[in-house]
Amino acid sequence: MDVHASVEENNTIDWDTEDEHEIENIPQTSKAASTSAGPSNVSLIQHFIGMGFPEKFVTKAIKKNGESDSDRILETILAYMDGHVSDEENVDIDSDTKDDLEIQNIASTSCSTFVNRNAAIISNGEASSSRGPSNLNTVQHFMDMGFPEELVTRAIKENEENDTEKILESLLTYSQMAPEELDTYHASSSQQQCVNYDELSSDYDESLLDGFSEDDSLSESEITDNQSLPENEQMLLSLASMGYTVEEASAAVARCGPNASIAELTDFITAAQMAKTEAAFFEEEKPKVFVNPKLKRKMYQEALKRKKQKGPLTEEEEVIRIPKPMIGFGVPSESRFVTHRTLPDAAIGRPYFYYENVALAPKGVWDTISRFLFDVAPEFVDSKYFCAAARKRGYVHNLPIDNRFPLLPMQPRTIHGALHVTKKWWPAWDKRTNLNCLQTAYGSAKNMDRLRKALEKWGDEPPDHVKKYVLDECRRWNLVWVGKNKLATLEPDEVEMLLGFPRNHTRGGGISRTDRYKSLGNSFQVDTVAYHLSVLKNLFPNGINVLSLFSGIGGAEVALHRLGVPLKNVVSVELSGANRDILRSWWEQTNQKGNLVHLDDVQKLHGDKLEELIGRYGGFDLVVGGSPCNNLAGGNRVSRDGLEGEQSSLFYDYFRILDTVKTIMNKPN
Ligand code: SAH
């Protein structure tokens, strides 16, 4: 539970990246459970009572430790709760046997059970573990243990009434959750009851996806009902439906003002086009226009509609399901392969494209992505088939799929194979063989310390509730055993290795450890991507020109290089300076013979620049990229808006740029 997480830890968590957390219902840190309450005595007492601890333990612990060190207070309270108090303290606290009984009841539910409980209930007496299982009694029984009535009734409803073990298990799960998580959990529990960590760290149950709905996806009526939009957005849409690009339309609106007529706006755009001064209007002088991501999608939908004469997706048309096992068209370790597929005509030919994003996106997202990317079906692959860590991703590409080959040497696919040092200390009861998805944030030292303390109280075989608490934390933070009772987060070097990057790829040059984790957590798993890109080696023996969008730390570049595909010209578009530095430095260290050009923002990359680059290099052979998944990934509780999220809508820029490149490259000279 997360009385164990500090505020500092909270702040470093980047929930943006990954798809695992939410699905796994891993206990999260609740603000209410943070230990940073102000030191005024009353509010401090209240703070711990609010976390579910009995008032007498709280006051006692504060008296013992003073008010300023809330961590120590918490440790002391936990010790009281676990019954690990010195004799003197025992005497001090209470000699009432009824209370003792209560304490024992509570202690048996582990130190990870005391979030959000109503402590007042604990002291209301009449606790007895021998009550019969008639509903009322069962309710009372668990309430006497300190669980709020509402949760108790829920837990009983979800389990057999006489299966008190299961009920207790549910209650423990609930009490590890923050209130908002609890709501999500209950809202989705009907679909998610089958969730179990082991399954999720390895295989994915497609039924889970049904729990996600793209709430604000656009209905047909929304798309056509532009009247409800603000006036200038209506104007933008009208321009889009006339065939102008988002950039042209928004620049024109910004330039001519919100009251301009359609005629004025189209005049402006045409004049700009005719005078071939797009650069002046749309580049240098381009006013900063914020294009609402929803509008962006609508405009592209309009463009697409004109192109394909297709309406928007309806619920029934949302068909893409995540396959199980998640091996795409095949992986080296499995004997099942698909070696042929028929691509839609519009997708065939140069440039090859390769788009990546998290597999477990909200409902409908992959349908939309696929639809935009010329109706190519995604290939879903879990990187656990390529390394010791899971990473479930979807890839839409038009590459051939036969004669693929893996990078050699292939990575070990078990934790022990990849991280030898851990084997010696790994307890038999930790059954993990794979790591979960590598994240952008890692557990804190404090957390490791708490785990050590929790384990040190027991011998080699801690009780089940301690095991559960420890394993939950291990899975949540990808912890590995590095000593007796000693757990540790993965080092950035280890993450680099697991992801297939060279050692020290992200190290040095001023990048912080936190940023290393973040950049790595967002990157491609190189072996996986290389397997898909390997077909390019025979197609382009003399090297390729790559347009690399959202390059990050260069997962695609590293993959191609390791495959032995010469990089002739790479135009890399990446917003983060730290990431650009990493790629540049790798480029130099690996003595690349080609050119690396850096641009910063995909939103600023328009037709004229693309035309120039295509002219300069004779076109691109590959347009590769994985746009940010911030609003798609399960871990993001704040904003899981689907493709309309501010970051995720950058997918439409991937599409726009690819589409423009195709158009320019297909233009007869
Ligand atoms: N595939 C990459 C990582 C992709 S993560 C790798 O292998 O490392 C998405 C990347 O998009 C991040 O590095 C982020 O900095 C970058 N990004 C976000 N907004 C961007 C924008 N507007 N233009 C270009 N890059 C952007």
Q: Mind listing the pLDDT tens digit for each residue in 256-270? A: 666 776 666 766 666
CA 86, 87, 89: angle at the middle one, nearest 5?
65
Q: In what order do the strands lie in the sheet with 544-549?
A: 379-382, 392-397, 352-358, 622-625, 544-549, 567-573, 595-599
Q: What is the pLDDT of residues 167-225, one digit of tens each?
A: 777 776 666 565 555 554 554 333 322 222 222 333 322 222 222 222 222 233 333 34
111, 387, 437, 629: which one is catalytic? Answer: 629
Provide the mean pLDDT of the chain.
73
Can you tell me which atom of ligand 1 is nearest the CA of 553?
8
pLDDT at 82: 61
Q: What is the pLDDT of residues 78-90, one digit of tens each?
A: 777 666 544 334 3
| Mean pLDDT of all residues in 117-129 | 27
Whole-number Å distance, alpha carbon 626 to ligand 1 midpoint, is 7
State the Cα–Cα distance between residues 668 and 659, nearest whole angstrom. Answer: 16
Whole-number Å distance, alpha carbon 504 to ligand 1 midpoint, is 20
509: tokens are 């040059």
| Mean pLDDT of all residues in 563-574 | 98
**Cβ(434)–Cβ(427) under 8 Å?**
no
pLDDT of residue 116 exceeding 50, the answer is no
Helices (H) and strands (E) in the chain, counts: 32, 9
Nearest one of 185, 216, 215 to 21, comparing CA atoms:
185
**Cβ(68)–Cβ(60) under 8 Å?**
no
pLDDT of residue 463 exceeding 70, the answer is yes
Query: Exposed, middle or buried: residue 216 (CB in 10 Å: 0-12, 13-18, 19+)?
Result: middle
Beta bridge partners of 357: 394
| Mean pLDDT of all residues in 473-481 | 92
Alpha-carbon distance values, 67 to 60, 62, 88, 141 (Å): 11, 6, 21, 34
Question: Of the residues 355, 397, 440, 522, which should be mutated to test ligand 1's pocket, given the most ligand atoms within 8 Å of the CB?
Answer: 522
Nearest one of 147, 7, 17 to 436, comparing CA atoms:
17
pLDDT of residue 353 exceeding 80, the answer is yes
pLDDT at 33: 30
Q: What is the pLDDT of residues 520-559, one digit of tens each?
A: 999 999 999 999 999 999 999 999 999 999 999 999 999 9
Q: What is the CATH number of domain 345-409+526-666?
A: 3.40.50
Strands (E), 262-419: 352-358, 379-382, 392-397
Residue 444, SS3 per DSSP: coil
Whole-number Å distance, alpha carbon 180 to ligand 1 midpoint, is 30
Is residue 25 within 6 Å of ligand 1 at its C-beta? Answer: no
248 pLDDT band (50/70/90 cuts)? Answer: confident
Is residue 550 within 6 Å of ligand 1 at its C-beta? Answer: yes
State the Cα–Cα distance between residues 637 and 658, nearest whole angstrom. Answer: 31
Parse the chain into domains and list their residue ranges.
345-409+526-666, 415-499
pLDDT of residue 252 exceeding 60, the answer is yes
26 pLDDT band (50/70/90 cuts)? Answer: very low
Is residue 579 within 6 Å of ligand 1 at its C-beta? Answer: yes
Question: Of the residues 574, 601, 624, 636, which should be mutated to test ligand 1's pocket, given the most ligand atoms within 8 Å of the CB?
Answer: 574
- Indicate if 629 belongs to the active site: yes
Is residue 578 within 6 Å of ligand 1 at its C-beta? Answer: no
**Cβ(380)–Cβ(370) under 8 Å?**
no
Whole-number Å distance, alpha carbon 288 to ligand 1 midpoint, is 20
Is residue 555 within 6 Å of ligand 1 at its C-beta? Answer: yes
Global pTM value: 0.61
Alpha-carbon distance values, 259 to 21, 256, 263, 264, 534 (Å): 47, 8, 11, 10, 53
State the Cα–Cα distance between residues 227 and 473, nearest whole angstrom. Answer: 50
Is residue 189 within 6 Å of ligand 1 at its C-beta? Answer: no
pLDDT at 180: 52
37-41, 127-131, 239-243, 427-431: least confidently modelled range:
127-131
State the Cα–Cα distance between residues 607 and 273, nearest whole angstrom. Answer: 12
Give the residue, by CA position, lying nearest to ligand 1 atom 6.
523
Is residue 351 within 6 Å of ligand 1 at its C-beta? Answer: no
State the Cα–Cα distance between residues 633 and 645, nearest whole angstrom. Answer: 11
pLDDT at 126: 29
Angle (deg, nearest 10), helices 513-521 and 577-589: 80
| Mean pLDDT of all residues in 150-161 | 80
Residue 229, SS3 per DSSP: coil
pLDDT at 178: 54
State the Cα–Cα distance between residues 645 and 632, nearest whole angstrom. Answer: 8
Share of the chain above pLDDT 70, in %: 63
| Mean pLDDT of all residues in 449-474 | 91
pLDDT at 307: 52
DSSP string, 569-605: EEEEE-S-HHHHHHHHHHHHHTT--SEEEEE--GGG-
Nearest one of 330, 238, 213, 225 to 642, comparing CA atoms:
213
Is residue 574 within 6 Å of ligand 1 at its C-beta? Answer: yes
606: tokens are 């328009």
Can you tell me which atom of ligand 1 is nearest the CA of 522?
5
| Mean pLDDT of all residues in 344-361 | 93
Q: What is the pLDDT of residues 575-605, one digit of tens each?
A: 999 999 999 999 999 999 999 999 999 999 9
pLDDT of residue 354 exceeding 50, the answer is yes
pLDDT of residue 395 exceeding 60, the answer is yes
Q: Rounded to a whole number, what is the distance in angstroms from the first to the last CA of the chain?
A: 65
pLDDT at 204: 29
Cβ neighbors of 173 (< 8 A, separation 6 or more) are 25, 185
Can you tell me which atom of ligand 1 is nearest the CA of 628?
9
345: tokens are 């005509």
Q: What is the pLDDT of residues 277-335, one digit of tens each?
A: 333 333 333 334 455 666 666 666 666 655 554 445 565 566 788 888 999 999 999 98
Q: For tokens 């089940």, what's the residue?
A: 464
- Alpha-carbon torsion (629, 634, 636, 641), positive or negative: positive
362 pLDDT band (50/70/90 cuts)? Answer: confident
pLDDT at 402: 94
